[in-house]
Amino acid sequence: MKVTDCLRRDADVIWQHLVRHPFVVELYSGDLPLDKFKFYILHDYYYLTTAMKNFSLLAAKAPTVEDLRDILDILRLEAESEYEGYKKFLYRLGYSIPEAVKQEPIPISISYGSFLLSTSTLKSYPEAITAVLPCFWSYAEIADYHGDKLHDNKNQLYTDWAKVYGTDSYRDLVGKIKQLVNRVDETCPYDKLLRIFTQASRYEYLFWNAVYTQEQWPI
Protein backbone atom coordinates (compact mmCIF):
# COMPACT_ATOMS: atom_id res chain seq x y z
CA MET A 1 0.00 0.00 0.00
CA LYS A 2 1.32 3.44 -0.93
CA VAL A 3 2.01 5.89 1.86
CA THR A 4 -0.69 8.26 0.63
CA ASP A 5 -3.26 5.47 0.92
CA CYS A 6 -2.07 4.76 4.47
CA LEU A 7 -2.29 8.44 5.40
CA ARG A 8 -5.82 8.72 4.06
CA ARG A 9 -6.86 5.54 5.86
CA ASP A 10 -5.40 6.64 9.19
CA ALA A 11 -6.98 10.10 8.98
CA ASP A 12 -10.39 8.78 7.94
CA VAL A 13 -12.23 9.98 11.04
CA ILE A 14 -11.25 13.57 10.25
CA TRP A 15 -12.01 13.21 6.55
CA GLN A 16 -15.49 11.86 7.20
CA HIS A 17 -16.19 15.12 9.03
CA LEU A 18 -14.51 17.08 6.23
CA VAL A 19 -16.64 15.76 3.38
CA ARG A 20 -19.82 16.11 5.42
CA HIS A 21 -19.23 19.65 6.61
CA PRO A 22 -22.39 21.80 6.22
CA PHE A 23 -20.56 24.32 4.03
CA VAL A 24 -19.74 21.81 1.29
CA VAL A 25 -23.00 19.89 1.70
CA GLU A 26 -25.05 23.06 1.21
CA LEU A 27 -22.81 24.40 -1.54
CA TYR A 28 -23.19 21.26 -3.65
CA SER A 29 -26.95 21.13 -3.06
CA GLY A 30 -27.32 24.85 -3.81
CA ASP A 31 -28.68 25.70 -0.38
CA LEU A 32 -25.66 27.59 0.96
CA PRO A 33 -26.51 31.23 1.82
CA LEU A 34 -24.70 33.51 -0.60
CA ASP A 35 -23.14 35.59 2.17
CA LYS A 36 -21.26 32.51 3.38
CA PHE A 37 -19.90 31.82 -0.10
CA LYS A 38 -18.86 35.46 -0.47
CA PHE A 39 -17.03 35.24 2.85
CA TYR A 40 -15.26 32.09 1.66
CA ILE A 41 -14.16 33.63 -1.64
CA LEU A 42 -12.88 36.83 -0.03
CA HIS A 43 -10.86 34.93 2.57
CA ASP A 44 -9.57 32.30 0.16
CA TYR A 45 -7.25 34.96 -1.30
CA TYR A 46 -4.98 34.78 1.74
CA TYR A 47 -4.69 31.01 1.45
CA LEU A 48 -4.07 31.14 -2.31
CA THR A 49 -1.21 33.62 -2.04
CA THR A 50 0.26 31.81 0.97
CA ALA A 51 0.13 28.53 -0.96
CA MET A 52 2.12 30.08 -3.81
CA LYS A 53 4.78 31.29 -1.38
CA ASN A 54 4.84 27.86 0.22
CA PHE A 55 5.42 26.07 -3.08
CA SER A 56 8.36 28.41 -3.66
CA LEU A 57 9.86 27.17 -0.39
CA LEU A 58 9.14 23.57 -1.37
CA ALA A 59 10.89 24.06 -4.71
CA ALA A 60 14.02 25.21 -2.91
CA LYS A 61 14.00 22.04 -0.79
CA ALA A 62 13.20 19.58 -3.59
CA PRO A 63 15.63 16.62 -3.38
CA THR A 64 15.72 15.86 -7.13
CA VAL A 65 15.38 17.71 -10.42
CA GLU A 66 12.25 15.66 -11.15
CA ASP A 67 10.66 16.82 -7.91
CA LEU A 68 11.74 20.40 -8.58
CA ARG A 69 10.13 20.39 -12.02
CA ASP A 70 6.88 18.96 -10.67
CA ILE A 71 6.69 21.51 -7.86
CA LEU A 72 7.41 24.39 -10.22
CA ASP A 73 4.69 23.09 -12.53
CA ILE A 74 2.24 23.06 -9.62
CA LEU A 75 3.33 26.57 -8.64
CA ARG A 76 2.72 27.75 -12.21
CA LEU A 77 -0.79 26.27 -12.15
CA GLU A 78 -1.46 27.98 -8.81
CA ALA A 79 -0.12 31.32 -10.05
CA GLU A 80 -1.88 31.21 -13.41
CA SER A 81 -4.88 28.89 -13.73
CA GLU A 82 -6.13 28.88 -10.15
CA TYR A 83 -5.43 32.57 -9.61
CA GLU A 84 -7.27 33.50 -12.81
CA GLY A 85 -10.18 31.26 -11.86
CA TYR A 86 -10.27 32.88 -8.44
CA LYS A 87 -10.42 36.35 -9.96
CA LYS A 88 -13.37 35.36 -12.16
CA PHE A 89 -15.42 34.16 -9.19
CA LEU A 90 -14.44 37.24 -7.24
CA TYR A 91 -15.64 39.53 -10.04
CA ARG A 92 -18.87 37.55 -10.48
CA LEU A 93 -19.61 38.31 -6.83
CA GLY A 94 -18.97 42.01 -7.40
CA TYR A 95 -15.54 42.19 -5.79
CA SER A 96 -12.03 42.99 -7.00
CA ILE A 97 -8.57 41.73 -6.10
CA PRO A 98 -7.77 44.95 -4.15
CA GLU A 99 -10.89 44.35 -2.04
CA ALA A 100 -9.77 40.78 -1.31
CA VAL A 101 -6.29 42.03 -0.40
CA LYS A 102 -7.79 44.44 2.13
CA GLN A 103 -9.56 41.67 4.02
CA GLU A 104 -8.01 41.09 7.42
CA PRO A 105 -7.18 37.36 7.58
CA ILE A 106 -9.30 35.44 10.06
CA PRO A 107 -7.53 33.49 12.83
CA ILE A 108 -7.67 30.11 11.08
CA SER A 109 -6.20 31.57 7.88
CA ILE A 110 -3.18 32.91 9.72
CA SER A 111 -2.78 29.71 11.73
CA TYR A 112 -3.08 27.40 8.70
CA GLY A 113 -0.80 29.56 6.58
CA SER A 114 1.80 29.74 9.35
CA PHE A 115 1.63 25.96 9.75
CA LEU A 116 2.38 25.43 6.06
CA LEU A 117 5.20 27.97 5.89
CA SER A 118 6.83 26.86 9.15
CA THR A 119 6.65 23.20 8.09
CA SER A 120 8.35 24.00 4.79
CA THR A 121 10.97 26.13 6.53
CA LEU A 122 11.76 24.17 9.67
CA LYS A 123 10.88 20.55 8.96
CA SER A 124 12.05 17.98 6.44
CA TYR A 125 11.06 18.01 2.78
CA PRO A 126 8.93 14.83 3.15
CA GLU A 127 6.94 16.49 5.94
CA ALA A 128 6.63 19.73 3.98
CA ILE A 129 5.29 18.13 0.80
CA THR A 130 2.89 15.99 2.86
CA ALA A 131 1.45 19.13 4.49
CA VAL A 132 0.06 20.45 1.19
CA LEU A 133 -1.67 17.22 0.16
CA PRO A 134 -4.87 17.35 2.29
CA CYS A 135 -6.05 20.63 0.79
CA PHE A 136 -5.84 19.51 -2.83
CA TRP A 137 -6.91 15.93 -2.21
CA SER A 138 -9.87 16.76 0.02
CA TYR A 139 -11.36 19.11 -2.60
CA ALA A 140 -11.27 16.24 -5.09
CA GLU A 141 -12.78 13.81 -2.60
CA ILE A 142 -15.52 16.29 -1.72
CA ALA A 143 -16.30 16.55 -5.45
CA ASP A 144 -16.53 12.74 -5.69
CA TYR A 145 -18.70 12.49 -2.59
CA HIS A 146 -21.17 15.23 -3.50
CA GLY A 147 -20.89 15.43 -7.29
CA ASP A 148 -24.30 13.87 -7.95
CA LYS A 149 -25.99 16.72 -6.09
CA LEU A 150 -24.96 19.14 -8.84
CA HIS A 151 -27.64 17.72 -11.17
CA ASP A 152 -30.32 19.33 -9.00
CA ASN A 153 -28.31 22.41 -8.00
CA LYS A 154 -29.98 25.50 -9.50
CA ASN A 155 -27.24 27.91 -8.41
CA GLN A 156 -24.99 28.33 -11.46
CA LEU A 157 -22.31 30.07 -9.44
CA TYR A 158 -21.98 27.11 -7.09
CA THR A 159 -22.07 24.50 -9.84
CA ASP A 160 -19.38 26.34 -11.80
CA TRP A 161 -17.19 26.44 -8.70
CA ALA A 162 -17.76 22.79 -7.79
CA LYS A 163 -17.26 21.33 -11.27
CA VAL A 164 -13.63 22.50 -11.32
CA TYR A 165 -12.69 19.94 -8.67
CA GLY A 166 -14.18 17.03 -10.57
CA THR A 167 -12.25 17.65 -13.79
CA ASP A 168 -9.53 15.39 -15.13
CA SER A 169 -7.02 18.25 -14.99
CA TYR A 170 -7.66 18.77 -11.28
CA ARG A 171 -7.41 15.03 -10.60
CA ASP A 172 -4.10 14.99 -12.46
CA LEU A 173 -2.87 17.78 -10.19
CA VAL A 174 -3.85 15.81 -7.08
CA GLY A 175 -2.16 12.74 -8.55
CA LYS A 176 1.05 14.68 -9.08
CA ILE A 177 1.15 15.78 -5.44
CA LYS A 178 0.45 12.21 -4.33
CA GLN A 179 3.39 11.04 -6.42
CA LEU A 180 5.64 13.60 -4.77
CA VAL A 181 4.67 12.27 -1.34
CA ASN A 182 4.99 8.63 -2.38
CA ARG A 183 8.51 9.19 -3.70
CA VAL A 184 9.81 10.21 -0.28
CA ASP A 185 7.92 7.85 2.01
CA GLU A 186 11.01 5.77 2.85
CA THR A 187 13.15 8.78 3.78
CA CYS A 188 11.00 9.88 6.72
CA PRO A 189 9.34 7.90 9.55
CA TYR A 190 5.67 7.29 8.82
CA ASP A 191 4.53 8.66 12.18
CA LYS A 192 5.98 12.08 11.29
CA LEU A 193 4.18 12.12 7.94
CA LEU A 194 0.91 11.05 9.58
CA ARG A 195 1.21 13.78 12.21
CA ILE A 196 1.62 16.43 9.51
CA PHE A 197 -1.12 14.97 7.32
CA THR A 198 -3.49 14.84 10.29
CA GLN A 199 -2.75 18.42 11.31
CA ALA A 200 -3.29 19.73 7.78
CA SER A 201 -6.55 17.77 7.51
CA ARG A 202 -7.76 19.32 10.74
CA TYR A 203 -6.91 22.77 9.40
CA GLU A 204 -9.02 22.06 6.32
CA TYR A 205 -11.98 21.25 8.53
CA LEU A 206 -11.39 24.31 10.70
CA PHE A 207 -11.27 26.56 7.64
CA TRP A 208 -14.62 25.23 6.35
CA ASN A 209 -16.04 25.77 9.81
CA ALA A 210 -14.67 29.31 10.01
CA VAL A 211 -16.12 30.43 6.68
CA TYR A 212 -19.45 28.74 7.40
CA THR A 213 -19.80 30.62 10.71
CA GLN A 214 -18.12 33.73 9.20
CA GLU A 215 -15.64 33.74 12.03
CA GLN A 216 -14.19 37.04 13.20
CA TRP A 217 -11.54 38.01 15.72
CA PRO A 218 -13.23 37.98 19.17
CA ILE A 219 -11.60 41.26 20.20
For the segment 87-124, what is each residue's pLDDT rounded down to a tens digit? 999 999 999 999 999 999 999 999 999 999 999 999 99
pLDDT at site 184: 85
Q: How far is it, in rounded angstroms, from Cα 206 to Cα 4? A: 22
Position with higher pLDDT, 185 vs 178: 178
Q: Which helix (H) or strand (E) holds 13?
A: helix 12-19
Alpha-carbon 110 to chain mean position: 14
pLDDT, the chain, mean: 95
Q: Tell me: the pLDDT tens digits for 125-161? A: 999 999 999 999 999 999 999 999 999 999 999 999 9
Enter the pTM of the model: 0.95
Q: Which helix (H) or strand (E) holds 203?
A: helix 190-213
pLDDT at site 185: 62
Q: How far is it, in rounded angstroms, from Cα 118 to Cα 99? A: 27
State percent of the chain over pLDDT 90.
93
Say if CB 120 and CB 61 are below 8 A apart: yes
Closest residue by Cα to residue 129 from 74, 181, 63: 181
Q: How far is it, in rounded angstroms, from Cα 194 to Cα 13? A: 13
State percent of the chain over pLDDT 70.
100
Q: Which of 25-29, 85-89, 194-198 has the least mean pLDDT?
A: 85-89
pLDDT at site 28: 98
Domain 3-213 fold is Heme Oxygenase; Chain A (1.20.910)
Closest residue by Cα to residue 132 from 208, 191, 53: 53
